[in-house]
Amino acid sequence: MKLVFATNNLNKLAEVQKMLPDSIQLLSLKDINCFDEIEETETTLQGNAKLKADYITSKFGFNCFADDTGLEVESLDGKPGVYSARFAGEPSNSDNNMQKLLEDLKDKTNRKAQFRTAVALNLNNEQFIFEGTCKGEIFKKKHGEKGFGYDPIFKPEGFEVSFAEMSSEQKNKISHRGIAIDKLVNFLSNYKS
């Protein structure tokens, strides 16, 4: 089965590719000659995931899935949330985003946070939604070199290390995206068109 993953994030693409069975051929936006910037204008993760998946399906005719992920910090009333990728403003940059978050948390004792991912799958004129959550807390400084986004400052519940200190296999087993993609894979494994 061929499926387009509607993302320009090569780190995310590589991470998800490792999680899918060999029976699914994953295509990137580049593979289908889509170089459009798909604006994320919705106010929810689910809304943005649907928006991106619908754009690809309607314009290019492919079965596809798209995700949106947000980091939600309890003492910041769920921020940055849906604005996680652009938290520090444009141009979006992980280091600037982490710096702003650490600055905003400077005087906070509650550092509880969770990553949430919503995946929208468009398959044979139907849409399916899968979600995953990973609870944890925000470190006071960066730890580790692996991963991307907020990984160096996020410590998942039950661990003493950040996502950026884990192997991709370790991270994928417990991460928000890993959980949502696992639900997607299980669904596809049992899907009868």
Please give the full DSSP string across 38-71, using - where no structure is assigned: -----SSHHHHHHHHHHHHHHHH---EEEEEEEE
| Rounded average pLDDT over 97-105 | 96
According to the model, what pLDDT value does residue 169 have? 87
pLDDT of 193 > 80? The answer is: no
| Rounded average pLDDT over 58-72 | 96
Distance of CA 46 to the CA centre of its chain: 11
Which residue type does 178 have?
A: G
Residue ranges of domains in the chain, CATH in brackets: 2-189 (3.90.950.10)
pLDDT of 39 > 90? The answer is: no
Tell me whether residue 36 is one of the annotated catalytic residues.
no
DSSP-assigned beta bridge partners for residue 69: 117
Q: Which range is most confident: 1-10, 17-26, 49-58?
A: 49-58
DSSP-assigned beta bridge partners for residue 130: 119
Q: Is the pTM of this model over 0.85?
A: yes
pLDDT of 75 > 70? The answer is: yes
pLDDT of 190 > 90? The answer is: no
User: What does 63-85 look like in DSSP terms, one character per residue?
Assistant: -EEEEEEEEEEGGGTTEEETTGG
| Rounded average pLDDT over 65-81 | 96
| Rounded average pLDDT over 130-155 | 95
Give me the catalytic one of 31, 68, 95, 182. Answer: 68
DSSP-assigned beta bridge partners for residue 110: none
- Of residues 26, 134, 13, 138, the one with CA closest to residue 67: 13
